[in-house]
Amino acid sequence: MKAAVLSFPGSNCDQDLLWALSDIAGIPADLVPASATDLSGYDLVCVPGGFSYGDYLRSGAIANFAPVMAALKKHAANGGLVLGICNGFQILCEAGLLPGALQFNESLNFICESEPLTVVNTNTAFSGDYQPDETIHLPIAHGEGNYYADPETLAAIEAKQQVVFRYAANPNGSLNDIAGLTNAAGNVLGMMPHPERAVETLLGGRDGLAMFTALKKQMEGAAYATRRA
């Protein structure tokens, strides 16, 4: 059981995510640079928040061409777990690992606050320790978190129950209040809110911890080991 936290030039949440995984949840984790070309040996690969490559062109666009992305796509195709948070969500969409795109917030302002979310799908490796329809509070900090997909894609996402988290009070204009969703296979999750910033009471709440405990159980479980064999 081991996790990788990718680090791009401009990432600023990689250490936070590494700490949440290893020090809080007890998941052994390594910091892996964007120049890496091999992710074998990792069960979970995390793409953290920040401003990869300065958000030039658009958020996540340049990161898609980093050497590590070929290995990340191979990892996901082989059924490996992938978690993208904030800029990580944007990168996963740019890479085609998740449907849709993240646009500028409807207000055109950067938003940094705690937001209530509804957990709408607990049947994933990432959300199994939450309760159905549970309300949780996680921090957001983004200028381009407005989720968009064309009508056909959005209908398919909803039909396949890929949405995991919805905003209770939509702060950025995301379609269908989408705050986080998986790919069709369910092994890749992208979300704009930051669970790694909500794993200790000292930080203002522990509502993000259940994501990491669920992932730990998934990686330890026989079902996951069999699927990855």
Confidence class for position 126, pLDDT limits 50, 70, 90: very high
Selecting among 46, 86, 94, 142, the annotated active-site residue is 86
Q: Is the pLDDT of residue 229 over 50?
A: no
Q: Which pLDDT does position 221 carry in this prediction?
A: 86
Residue range 15-41: average pLDDT? 97
What is the domain range of residue 70?
3-228
Name residues whose C-beta falls within 8 Å of residue 23's C-beta, 6 or more positions apart in sequence.
Answer: none
Q: Which residue among 13, 142, 144, 194 is the active-site one?
A: 194
Looking at residue 203, its pLDDT comes to 85
194 is catalytic: yes
Is residue 86 part of the annotated active site? The answer reads yes
Report the percentage of the chain scoring pLDDT > 90.
Answer: 93
Handedness of CA 49, 55, 57, 62 (dihedral sign): negative
In the chain, how many domains are there? 1
Query: With contact defined as beta carbons under 8 Å apart, do 58 and 32 qualify?
Result: no
Residues of the chain with pLDDT > 70, as a percent, come to 97
How long, in residues, is the chain? Answer: 229
- The reported pLDDT for the residue numbered 226 is 40
Q: What is the pLDDT of residue 227?
A: 46
Q: Which tokens hold the place of 113?
A: 């606050």
CATH of the domain at 23: 3.40.50.880
Single-letter amino acid code for the residue at 166: R
pLDDT at residue number 147: 98
Residues 6 or more apart from 145 whose CB is under 8 A from it? 86, 102, 105, 111, 171, 172, 174, 192
Q: Is the pLDDT of residue 214 over 80?
A: yes
- 196 catalytic residue (yes or no): yes
pLDDT in tens, 176-194: 999 999 999 999 999 999 9
Mean pLDDT rounded to a whole number for the chain:
95
Distance between CA atoms of residues 201 and 170, nearest Å: 25
Catalytic residue among 94, 115, 144, 196: 196
